[in-house]
Amino acid sequence: MNTAHFRADVSGVVAEPPNALHIQSPPGAAWSTINVAEAVPGVMTPLTASAWGPACEMCIRESFYGIGALNKQLRKISSDPETCVTAPFYGRMAARVDFLCKIGDLVPGQNGGSIARDVFGFVPPGYVSNPSYKRLPVVATRYPRTLWSTTKLVRRQRVETDRWWRREIAATPSMNLGQAQRLLKQAVPHFQRMIADHSTLVV
């Protein structure tokens, strides 16, 4: 498995047109393929990137929102590379470590540097943790409720998704192009939602 850590240096780089498989990183951002490469191994196709890109972004934001560490504003997914938590580089998905460090500082009793070291094996050069307890009241209220409800939700999703998958797969040989496209449009948001819910349980 190929994994990497890298820090962006975009000085003097000419802006490129939008690309589903590669972005131009904000200056100085620190990225890693650790853990992300296990979920999305190898080089993605544009179709894979269109499903996994939003899913990766969504699962991180939804997970930390679910436990109360993120507010509604930070929960929102933006297409602006400056605020992306995950992004593709030459077809490989990576996570923005410095951004996750800042999120980690918002988890009461934790700090971003320790989380980065545990998850990615390194702390971005120059990063200094600034742990905060300002989200403690929200976390204390939301986290137990989220954990309990999401556990039940994931168990129900497993049964419902298995039933749905078996039904649709059995029907695919007789589908025309339009029907297959409609099925894909239904499957992608379903997949992304499930990834986010499952991720909440392991934060």
Q: Report mean pLDDT in 10-residue bins for the chain, 203 residues.
A: 56 56 88 89 92 89 90 82 86 92 88 88 88 90 90 92 94 95 92 87 73
The confidence score (pLDDT) of residue 25 equals 87
Rounded to the nearest 5°, which phi and psi values hold at 127? -75, 130
Enclosing domain of residue 49: 5-200
Residue 94, both tokens: 């990576």
Backbone angle region of 35, left / alpha / beta, with phi > 0 → left and psi within -120 to 50 → alpha: left
Residue 84, both tokens: 């992306």
Residue 168, both tokens: 């649709």
Residues 6+ apart with CB under 8 A from 165: none
- The answer to whether 195 touches 40, Cβ cutoff 8 Å, is no
The confidence score (pLDDT) of residue 10 equals 46
Residue 177, both tokens: 């192009």
Residue 72 CB neighbour total at 10 angstroms: 7
Exposed (0-12), middle (13-18) or buried (19+): which is 88, by Cβ within 10 Å?
A: buried
- Cα-based distances in Å from 179 to 34, 39, 49, 173, 174: 37, 28, 22, 11, 9
Which helix (H) or strand (E) covers residue 88, if one does? strand 86-89
The confidence score (pLDDT) of residue 13 equals 45
Distance CA 77, CA 202 (A): 20
User: Residue 96: which of 50, 60, 54 has the closest Cα?
Assistant: 60
Distance CA 95, CA 42 (A): 15
Residues 6+ apart with CB under 8 A from 40: 48, 52, 56, 92, 93
Distance CA 128, CA 138 (A): 24
The confidence score (pLDDT) of residue 7 equals 61
Considering its fold, how many domains does the chain have in total?
A: 1
Give the global pTM: 0.78
